[in-house]
Amino acid sequence: MTIGIWILGDQLSMEQAALQQAAQSHKAPVILIESSRHVKERPYHRQKLILVWSAMRHFAQELRQAGWEVSYELAAEFEPTLREWVKQQKITELRVMQPSDRPFGQLIAKLDLPCKITLLPNNLFLWSHDEFSNWAKGRKNLLMEYFYREGRQRYDVLMQGKKPIGGQWNLDKENRKPPKAQLDTPEPLWFTPDDITQNVIEYVKVNDFSTYGEAESFRWGVTRTQALAVLDSFIRVRLPMFGPYQDAMVTDEETMWHAMLSPYLNLGLLHPLEVIRAAEQAYYDHDLPLNSVEGFIRQVLGWREYMQGLYHHVSGDYPQRNWFEHQQPLPKFFWDAEQTQMNCLHQTLKQVESIAYVHHIQRLMVLSNFALIAGISPQEIESWFHSAFIDAYDWVMQTNVIGMGQFADGGILASKPYAASANYINKMSDYCKACTYKPSQRTGEQACPFNFFYWDFLDRHRAKLTSQGRMNFMLNNLDKMPEAELIQIRQQAAAWHKTSSGA
Ligand SMILES: Cc1cc2nc3c(=O)[nH]c(=O)nc-3n(C[C@H](O)[C@H](O)[C@H](O)COP(=O)(O)OP(=O)(O)OC[C@H]3O[C@@H](n4cnc5c(N)ncnc54)[C@H](O)[C@@H]3O)c2cc1C
Ligand code: SF4
């Protein structure tokens, strides 16, 4: 029997299950494949392609240095390349670690290869699919908070016996400061591309794999060593202040105190437990503020694990859900920031073009919120997020965009839609000060589109939102609005969709 190992582009860990099983002998041949057809399925941000391919090429090099026999192939399709390699190497069993993304699992299931294919459980997350399903079984609601508490106990993180350190599980209330004062934010840790990365940058440009995003300004890490350096720098420099301004947005502040670890976690370059333990240890060693440490650990141990668990738990039609029946096409400015005068969207989209990253609140309360209240198709906005972000994969996209951002699942994940008017953006950012539109106006030429769309959204979906329960306060405010103003709001929202792309 000859075993071969196929490593997927987001499984770049020496500890991943397929490599781990064969690690004793280092005998199994290994293959990594860059498929050009696969990446043409959507207009990926150029930096996403550069990140994944450069990280794969670096990982192949590290495997060779560790004694593995590695084939690295640039190909159009996976199947013919695998078939050829299996024949050449006389492989009888191909081992692959279970992909995180369901579409990739389907691709593997359809492969026609002259050998047995064995899928090994994915060990790059803490919770297996079965463990999540057991947790979810029989529960009336699947709120993240309860899952998170279970995770804290299970992995004994920030615990004092059976109680959370500090007496409270969740200190989120302390982490919503608006950016009123002058903030002294730390520089993120970036890297100069080495020869391998530079070659990939040229390869992506010459082959015209994508039309979106800037390639030249690529500064992401591409190896485990660099990912560990980002983790170390985050823990030392950023974690102490991670909490208070977690939701704040400031012009030209690309990252605030956010971790910028998602690209590395999602590629397998870092394991979630080592990230959690590093933050917890820093709390004990350096007496860091609990709201920052707990707030960060909740993101990784709570939200990240919950999102992947839920993704595998829900039924296969989840990506097509559309509870509000939203059908508007995605405005063109999502692909070109220069085409919108809405400053919050302009600033956020400009940054996505430049580094394929903005932080959580920009994703949720600017980009996704706009799509939700403007009635954009959830599938179109999901597809855009998947293309545009450095850390996007199907598993993280469906639950975050279809579920959390668009409430298109009708409330499996969120207890109410994340819909907000300009009030929220004006409070949590400095964007409105430099905007053509007025955050205080609901109608008229200078009215902020977030305002008329927000009230139009409540009006259009009054019945569904009433049945859902948690929006009653805002629906009562809607009831108090003069009829003439409501008519104007409806007209202005409808007119916006008819004018070009809503610039
Ligand atoms: C509409 C929308 C789209 C998103 N798209 C992605 C995506 O494509 N890829 C992605 O990894 N995350 C996504 N997220 C979740 C979250 O916004 C990002 O993980 C985070 O902004 C990454 O930046 P960071 O590493 O600086 O995170 P921090 O804010 O510093 O958080 C630390 C870590 O927690 C994890 N995390 C926090 N929240 C989530 C979450 N909701 N889901 C999964 N992991 C989480 C990430 O691994 C992150 O690195 C999305 C959220 C929303 C609302
Ligand atoms: S006024 Fe409206 S469009 Fe302009 S920045 Fe504020 S929220 Fe965004």
The helix or strand, by DSSP H or E, that contains position 3, with its residue range, turns out to be: strand 3-6
Helix/strand/coil for 45: strand
Same-domain status, 94 and 140: no
Domain extent at residue 93: 3-120
- Does 17 share its domain with 107? yes
Please check whether residue 503 lies inside any domain of the structure.
Answer: no
Q: What's the pLDDT at 362?
A: 98
Ligand 1 centroid to Cα of residue 396, in Å, is 8
Q: Ligand 2: distance of its center to the CA of 398 in Å?
A: 27
143 shares its domain with 188: yes
Nearest-ligand number for the alpha carbon of 342: 2
The token pair that represents 372 in the structure block: 């939700």
In a shared domain, residues 92 and 210: no
Q: For position 104, what pLDDT does the model report?
A: 96
CATH number at residue 356: 1.10.579.10
* Residue 164 in domain: yes
pLDDT tens, position by position, 450-488? 999 999 999 999 999 998 878 899 999 999 999 999 999
Pick the last residue of a domain from 274, 297, 313. Answer: 313
Considering the chain, what percentage of its residues have pLDDT values greater than 70? Answer: 99
**Residue pLDDT, tens place only, 392-419:** 999 999 999 999 999 999 999 998 999 9
Structural contact between residues 354 and 438, judged by C-beta atoms closer than 8 angstroms: no
What would the pLDDT profile of 376-385 be if each residue is shown by its tens digit?
Answer: 999 999 999 9
The residues lining ligand 1, judged by C-beta closer than 6 Å to any ligand atom, are: 258-262, 265-266, 299-300, 303-304, 307, 359-360, 363-364, 368, 385, 389, 391-392, 396-397, 400-401, 404-405
Quick one: 305 and 324 in the same domain?
no
- What pLDDT is stored for residue 41 in this prediction? 86
Pair (398, 418) in one structural domain = yes
Q: Residue 159 domain-assigned?
A: yes
Please check whether residues 457 and 326 belong to one and the same domain.
Answer: yes
What is the number of the ligand 2 atom nearest to the C-alpha of 451?
2
CATH code of the domain in which 157 resides: 1.25.40.80
Q: How far is ligand 1, taken at its centre, from the CA of residue 490, in Å?
A: 34
Q: In the 8-state DSSP scheme, what is residue 406?
A: T
Note whether 381 and 287 are same-domain residues. no
Write down which residue in 260, 284, 313 finishes a domain: 313
**Which ligand is in closest contact with the Cα of 369?**
1
For residue 263, how far is its CA from the centre of ligand 1 (angstroms)? 9
Binning pLDDT at 50, 70 and 90, where does residue 265 land?
very high
pLDDT for res 37 = 87
- 389 and 288: one domain? no
- Tokens 């437990």 belong to residue: 273
pLDDT-based confidence at residue 500 (cuts at 50, 70, 90)? low
Predicted pLDDT of residue 26: 63
Whether 83 contacts 113, CB under 8 Å: yes
SS (H, E, C) 135-171: HHCCCCCCCHHHHHHHHHHHCCCCEECCEECCCCCCC
**290 and 153 housed in the same domain:** yes
Dihedral of the CA atoms 263, 269, 270, 271 (nearest 10)? Answer: 110
* Cβ atoms of 303 and 144 closer than 8 Å: yes
pLDDT of residue 210: 79
Please indicate, yes or no, whether residues 35 and 115 belong to a single structural domain of this protein. yes
Structural domain contains residue 52: yes
Who lines ligand 2 at CB under 6 A? Answer: 342-344, 422, 425-426, 431-432, 435, 437, 439, 448-450
pLDDT class of 352 with cuts at 50, 70, 90: very high
Mutation test residue for ligand 2: of 362, 448, 451, the one with most atoms within 8 Å of CB: 448
Ligand 2 centroid–CA 346 distance in Å is: 10
Q: pTM for the full model?
A: 0.97
Q: Supply the DSSP string of 488-503, one letter for each residue.
A: HHHHHHHHHHHSTT--
Nearest residue (by CA) to ligand 1, atom 13, is 396
Classify residue 216: in a domain, yes or no.
Answer: yes
C-alpha of residue 353 to centroid of ligand 2, in Å? 20
Asked whether residue 400 is domain-assigned, the answer is yes
Tens digits of residue pLDDT in 272-302:
999 999 999 999 999 999 999 999 999 999 9
Pocket test for ligand 2, best of 437, 441, 445, 492 (most atoms within 8 A of CB): 437
State the average pLDDT for the chain: 96
CATH of the domain at 66: 3.40.50.620
% of the chain with per-residue pLDDT over 90? 93
- Our count of domains for the chain comes to 3
Same domain, 168 and 107: no
Residue 185 lies in a domain: yes
Is the pLDDT score of 27 beyond 80? Answer: no
Residue of the CA atom closest to atom 31 of ligand 1:
299
DSSP 223: S
Smallest CA-to-CA distance from 56 within 26, 94, 11, 19 is with 11
Is 501's pLDDT higher than 60?
no
456 CA to middle of ligand 1, Å? Answer: 29
Among candidate residues 96, 120, 144, the one where a domain is terminated = 120
- What's the gap in Å between 264 CA and the centre of ligand 1? 12
Beta bridge partners of 141: none
Q: What is the DSSP string of 324-391?
A: T---BPPPGGGG-GGG---HHHHHHHHHHHHHS---HHIIIIIIIHHHHHTTB-HHHHHHHHHHH-TT
pLDDT class of 181 with cuts at 50, 70, 90? confident
Is 110 part of any domain?
yes
